[in-house]
């Protein structure tokens, strides 16, 4: 059985709506109600459907709604009981319409007006502000406590009920439309006044029908056609006329089959009809007077509009994973270096230019990117983070720009929104931008210049308004000189550069950051003076990321007092390039490798050690497993760094990396390179 959650601002109202819907739907689904407060405390909602009392509360609960849940915003309608109460009020009376806010007041007034209550002068009142004290009558939907003193007559009409349109919508989504229409819908019609049960009266009352139905159908987003018992059209709205303009400029007076010959009036199922102008979704519902069919209500929806509406809702649900949670206040450190960087970043946030963040791995580049976004004028919109190194090259384009259905093998039905579309009005963060393939760099440049994207397999441009923040731990200017990065793209991205200092250049921040990390892990450690000295004098090549690893390592030991013997094997590593320059150039391939790639020698050593272990065990490690193994042994690397290391080692001939999922294998030359590197470590040349 399907599960349905009903969400409203207050628990009592949520229960009311739940009972209202469950009265007709309880044999098709199980129901549960939530208030906004309960949603905030709850985990992710896993119900199949989420019914919202109003669209404006969607923003408050969207982070707690599963992307697999379908959302229905409920519409309300006046009941017969409410109408009977309203008829007791003398014609021409002036009355306060009392509700909890102005929006709710106006909604209730509109419902009453649409239902034909036009003989009263209604003024909104929501518990505050002055009003005309000559008014002595108030009407309220269960908000009597807000009625001001001095009111002598209060008509409490109670809460409005969920209307038939919403019930039909829910039944359709549950796949029980026909069964519901044949059974529960008849019972429900007896409860409603205007839109439902009095429809028969309206259709038979020719004098009042046109005025009242015109008021109704003008409010509807769908195209509406109403026919008589023989199928002749006698009422339409502007939307229907617009959607069917290619077939007939005039609809009224024609038989429905002349305009929509594909439509089957005897079926309640939706039908897709193709026209030169648009693809239309149509459905027909009988209007019955007793046992006789008095006519039909035909609804027409533009297929593309319906798809875009549903697509927009899915995009909003996905925003839960595209929110920037960090602010400048979350950045730890009192050193002059980090405080100046924060100050520079605050100034950058005030502008709207492209930002390039330069910093070593683990310095907190995304932390700064999120903080800049949250301090900018785009903070209300999405922050979409993209790791250019983590997504395979053949998928990066479709992920960034989106794709249309059928554009390639494996493409999702309906296509997919790209990162740039998701970031519209917000910020897109391109991490490890230096890893982006050159062909995609050209397409990115075009997007930045034209401010438009075209989905893979698409044929139309989509306007975007996005701020770009990129980040790298590479020297992009050198890559430009080497032809590995487009010069024009580099200058497009590097409008507002921000350099983040490594942790070794702000040693005074090491202990405060370490203490903060320990507190976040709900631990309490005491460091010996020798341990403090070791931590503050270590070079921290992995920066804050490496410091976090050390903190987790120490907490996992379960000890309160930490001595140097408890610390992981910290090496006082410096960048080895200067020492390696003393080696003779062009002596051997090993020497050349260490000379040219010495800056990342720790990374290559870690990769070679794991590959040697897998070789000895007759195993093969793919890139992800290799990354996991290295980081389990105290590493602090990203998938992009491992990918680059494997590529470089393979190009020198130290490992063999077959195509596909075979995994990389170390060879004799690679084992020899590892032995040389480890001897250098022992002699102090490296490390």
How many structural domains are present in the chain? 6
Task: Look at residue 29 and tell me if it is in a domain.
Answer: yes
178 and 190 in a common domain: yes
Environment class of residue 173 by beta-carbon count within 10 Å: exposed (0-12), middle (13-18) or buried (19+)? Answer: middle
291 and 348 in a common domain: no
Instruction: Specify whether the CB–CB gap between 319 and 382 falls below 8 A.
Output: yes
Helix (H) or strand (E) run with residue 349 in it: helix 336-350
510 and 495 in a common domain: no
234 and 151 in a common domain: no
Task: Look at residue 1 and tell me if it is in a domain.
Answer: yes
Domain final residue, candidates 102, 135, 159: 159
Task: Look at residue 362 and tell me if it is in a domain.
Answer: yes
Q: Residues 31-67: pLDDT tens digits?
A: 999 999 999 888 888 899 999 887 567 778 888 888 8
Q: Residues 524-539: pLDDT tens digits?
A: 889 999 999 889 888 8
118 and 186 in a common domain: no
Q: What is the mean pLDDT of residues 504-511?
A: 91
155 and 25 in a common domain: no
CATH of the domain at 47: 3.40.50.2300
| The model's pTM | 0.45
Highest mean pLDDT out of 47-51, 277-281, 612-616: 47-51
45 and 95 in a common domain: no
Task: Look at residue 181 and tell me if it is in a domain.
Answer: yes
380 and 231 in a common domain: no
At 214 the pLDDT is 65
208 and 96 in a common domain: no
- Record the tokens describing residue 429, joined without a space: 């963060």
pLDDT-derived band at 199, boundaries 50, 70, 90: very low
251 and 112 in a common domain: no
Task: Look at residue 608 and tell me if it is in a domain.
Answer: yes
Task: Look at residue 312 and tell me if it is in a domain.
Answer: no
CATH of the domain at 286: 3.30.450.20
Task: Look at residue 609 and tell me if it is in a domain.
Answer: yes
**600 Cβ neighbours under 8 A, 6+ residues apart:** 641, 645
* Rg (alpha carbons) of the chain, rounded to whole number: 34
Instruction: Specify whether the CB–CB gap between 647 and 578 falls below 8 A.
Output: no
Lowest mean pLDDT segment, chosen from 21-25, 80-84, 254-258, 550-554? 254-258
Domain final residue, candidates 247, 270, 305: 305
**Angle made by CA atoms 224, 230, 231, in degrees to the nearest 5:** 25
- Record the tokens describing residue 650, joined without a space: 């393979």
> SS3 letters for 153-177?
EEEECCCCEECHHHHHHHHHHHCCH
Half-sphere exposure at residue 365, Cβ-oriented, CA atoms within 13 angstroms: 26
- Select the more confidently predicted residue: 515 or 168: 515
275 and 263 in a common domain: yes
Which residues are bridge partners to 280 per DSSP? 273, 302
Report whether pLDDT(162) > 90.
no
pLDDT-derived band at 94, boundaries 50, 70, 90: very high
Q: What is the mean pLDDT of residues 665-674?
A: 86
Report whether pLDDT(523) > 60.
yes
Residue 155's domain comprises 80-159
Instruction: Specify whether the CB–CB gap between 455 and 411 falls below 8 A.
Output: no
Task: Look at residue 315 and tell me if it is in a domain.
Answer: no
Lowest mean pLDDT segment, chosen from 39-48, 91-100, 300-309, 602-611? 300-309
CATH of the domain at 462: 3.40.50.300
Average pLDDT of the chain? Answer: 82
> SS3 letters for 518-570?
HHHCCCCCEECHHHHHHHHHCCCCCHHHHHHHHHHHHHHCCCCEECHHHCCCC
CATH of the domain at 660: 1.10.10.10
Tell me how far apart the alpha carbons of residues 146 and 155 are, in angstroms, rounded to a whole number.
13
242 and 299 in a common domain: yes
Nearest to 91 by CA among 114, 112, 119, 117: 119
């Amino acid at each position: 059985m399907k599960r349905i959650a009903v969400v409203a601002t207050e628990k009592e109202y949520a229960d009311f709506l739940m009972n209202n819907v469950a009265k007709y739907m309880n044999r098709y689904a199980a129901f549960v109600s939530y208030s906004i407060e309960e949603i905030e405390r709850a985990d992710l909602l896993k119900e199949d459907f989420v019914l919202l009392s109003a669209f404006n509360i969607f923003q408050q609960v969207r982070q707690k709604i599963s992307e697999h849940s379908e959302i229905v915003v409920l519409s309300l309608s006046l009941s017969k009981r409410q109408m009977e109460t309203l008829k007791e009020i003398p014609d021409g009376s002036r009355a306060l319409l009392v509700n909890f806010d102005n929006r709710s007041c106006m909604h209730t007034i509109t419902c009453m007006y649409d239902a034909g209550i036009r003989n009263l002068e209604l003024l909104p009142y929501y518990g505050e502000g002055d009003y005309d004290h000559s008014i002595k009558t108030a009407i309220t939907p269960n908000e009597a406590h807000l009625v001001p003193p001095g009111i002598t007559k209060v008509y409490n009409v109670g809460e409005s009920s969920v209307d038939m349109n919403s019930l039909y919508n829910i039944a359709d989504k549950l796949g029980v439309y026909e069964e519901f229409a044949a059974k529960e819908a008849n019972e429900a019609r007896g409860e409603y006044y205007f839109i439902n049960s009095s429809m028969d009266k309206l259709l038979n009352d020719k004098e009042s029908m046109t005025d009242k139905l015109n008021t109704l159908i003008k409010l509807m987003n769908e195209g509406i056609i109403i026919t008589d018992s023989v199928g002749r059209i006698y009422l339409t709205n502007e939307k229907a006329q617009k959607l069917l303009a290619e077939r007939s400029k005039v609809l009224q007076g024609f038989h429905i089959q002349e305009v929509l010959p594909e439509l089957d009036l005897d079926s309640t199922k939706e039908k897709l009809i193709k026209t030169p102008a648009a693809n239309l979704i149509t459905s027909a519902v009988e209007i019955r007077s007793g046992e006789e069919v008095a006519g039909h209500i035909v609804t027409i929806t533009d297929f593309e509009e319906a798809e875009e509406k549903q697509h927009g809702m899915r995009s909003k649900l996905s925003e839960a994973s595209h929110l920037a949670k960090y602010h400048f206040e979350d950045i730890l450190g009192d050193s002059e270096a980090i405080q100046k960087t924060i100050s520079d970043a605050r100034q950058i946030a005030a502008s709207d230019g492209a930002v390039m963040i330069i910093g070593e791995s683990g310095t907190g580049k995304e932390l700064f990117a999120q903080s800049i976004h949250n301090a900018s004028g785009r903070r209300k919109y999405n922050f979409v983070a993209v790791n250019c190194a983590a997504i395979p090259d053949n998928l990066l384009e479709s992920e960034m720009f989106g794709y249309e259905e059928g554009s390639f093998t494996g493409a999702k039905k309906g296509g997919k929104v790209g990162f740039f579309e998701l970031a519209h009005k917000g910020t897109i963060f391109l991490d490890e931008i230096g890893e982006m393939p050159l062909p995609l760099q050209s397409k990115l440049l075009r997007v930045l210049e034209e401010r438009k994207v075209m989905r893979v397999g698409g044929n139309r441009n989509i306007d975007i308004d996005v701020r770009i923040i990129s980040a790298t731990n590479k020297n992009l200017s050198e890559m430009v000189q080497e032809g590995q990065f487009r010069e024009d793209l580099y200058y497009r991205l590097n409008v507002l550069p921000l350099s983040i200092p490594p942790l070794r250049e702000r040693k005074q921040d090491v202990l405060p950051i370490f203490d903060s990390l320990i507190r976040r892990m709900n631990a309490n450690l005491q460091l010996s003076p020798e341990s403090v000295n070791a931590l503050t004098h270590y070079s921290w090549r992995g920066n804050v990321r490496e410091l976090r690893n050390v903190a987790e390592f120490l907490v996992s030991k379960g000890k309160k007092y930490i001595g140097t013997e408890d610390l992981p094997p910290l090496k006082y590593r410096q960048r080895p390039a200067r020492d390696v320059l003393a080696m003779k150039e062009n002596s051997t391939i090993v020497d050349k490798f260490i000379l040219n790639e010495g800056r990342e020698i720790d990374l290559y050593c870690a990769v070679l050690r794991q590959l040697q272990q897998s070789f000895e065990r007759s195993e093969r490690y793919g890139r992800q497993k290799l990354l996991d193994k290295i980081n389990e042994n105290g590493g602090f690397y990203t998938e992009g760094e491992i990918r680059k290391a494997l590529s470089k080692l393979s190009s020198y001939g130290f490992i063999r990396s077959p195509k596909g999922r075979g995994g990389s294998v170390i060879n004799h030359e690679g084992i020899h390179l590892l032995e040389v590197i480890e001897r250098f470590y022992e002699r102090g040349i490296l490390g």
